């Protein structure tokens, strides 16, 4: 079993979660629930990076931070839950999370990687349903933009996860199709966000940076078509995309509802 720095995890619950110090509104609830989607994929990506020995030290640190963040977000969302439907879906997320977390805390092994991929997809689906439940209570365009840009965070990590799985040559036939679908969805959503009339000058500038980074990432993806995988490069570029899309999500969350 991987040795965990539990003191660090507990410290992370406070350090990474200012939302726990005060009640959150609907836009921040969409943001946090959307972040759970991203973390479901980021955790699996880190698991694969450790197992395949791709930047293992950084992956271990990211994994610890992601586990702590997922837990702290659950606490904030539990406090927020504003309807029985949201509370019920949150419980479904928690049940899936408990099984997923138990597997992730074991030493990364190739034989267990397929189960990790499956559970990461299940947790993604349950977290997606939670976002949809919360967004339906908002009735505003801002929550939709927060959801959309937040989903880009998830896709940056899903793309990296699937790329790592392909480069590790895991025996799962649908990996290439899922990878291509994730890339296409990121493309389409980025165009949608760039066309949003709610954008201000600062958001437009950040979207331009993200678009430039995305084009660079796509050049790396093309190498895999010739079986030339560059997992270290893709893990780094997708990490930059994550940071950019996280900043944009917070910018959208700050717009009027």
Is residue 115 in some structural domain? yes
Indicate the pTM of the whole model: 0.88
Is residue 103 in some structural domain? yes
**pLDDT tens figures, 144-175:** 899 999 999 999 999 999 999 999 999 888 99
Is residue 1 in some structural domain? no
- pLDDT, residue 58, reads 95
Q: Is the pLDDT of residue 221 over 90?
A: no
- pLDDT, residue 17, reads 47
Q: How many domains does the chain have?
A: 1
Q: How far apart are CA 128 and CA 145, in angstroms?
A: 15
Is residue 175 in some structural domain? yes
- Read off the pLDDT band of 185 (50, 70, 90): very high
- Read off the pLDDT band of 142 (50, 70, 90): confident
Is residue 201 in some structural domain? yes
Domain that holds residue 44: 6-253
- Read off the pLDDT band of 228 (50, 70, 90): confident
- pLDDT, residue 223, reads 73
- pLDDT, residue 198, reads 94
Is residue 221 in some structural domain? yes
- pLDDT, residue 140, reads 72
């Amino acid at each position: 079993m991987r040795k965990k720095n539990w003191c660090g995890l507990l410290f992370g619950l406070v350090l990474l979660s200012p939302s726990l110090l005060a009640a959150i509104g609907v836009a921040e609830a969409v943001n946090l629930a959307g972040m759970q989607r991203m973390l479901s994929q980021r955790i699996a990506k880190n698991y694969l990076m450790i197992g395949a020995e791709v930047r293992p030290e950084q992956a271990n640190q990211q994994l610890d931070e992601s586990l702590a963040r997922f837990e702290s977000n659950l606490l904030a969302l539990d406090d927020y839950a504003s309807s029985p439907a949201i509370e019920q879906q949150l419980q479904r997320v928690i049940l899936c999370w408990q099984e997923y977390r138990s597997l992730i805390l074991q030493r990364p092994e190739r034989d267990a990687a397929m189960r990790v991929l499956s559970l990461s997809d299940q947790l993604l689906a349950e977290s997606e349903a939670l976002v949809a439940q919360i967004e339906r209570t908002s009735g505003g365009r801002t929550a939709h933009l927060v959801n959309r840009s937040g989903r880009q965070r998830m896709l940056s990590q899903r793309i990296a996860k699937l790329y790592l799985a392909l480069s590790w040559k895991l025996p799962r036939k649908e990996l290439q199709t899922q990878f291509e679908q994730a890339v296409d969805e990121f493309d389409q959503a980025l165009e949608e966000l760039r066309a949003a009339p709610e954008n201000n000058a600062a958001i437009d500038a950040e979207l331009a940076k993200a678009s430039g980074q995305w084009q660079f990432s796509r050049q790396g993806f093309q190498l895999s078509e010739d079986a030339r995988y560059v997992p270290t490069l893709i893990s780094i570029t997708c990490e930059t995309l994550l940071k950019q899309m996280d900043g944009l999500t917070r910018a959208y969350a700050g717009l009027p509802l």
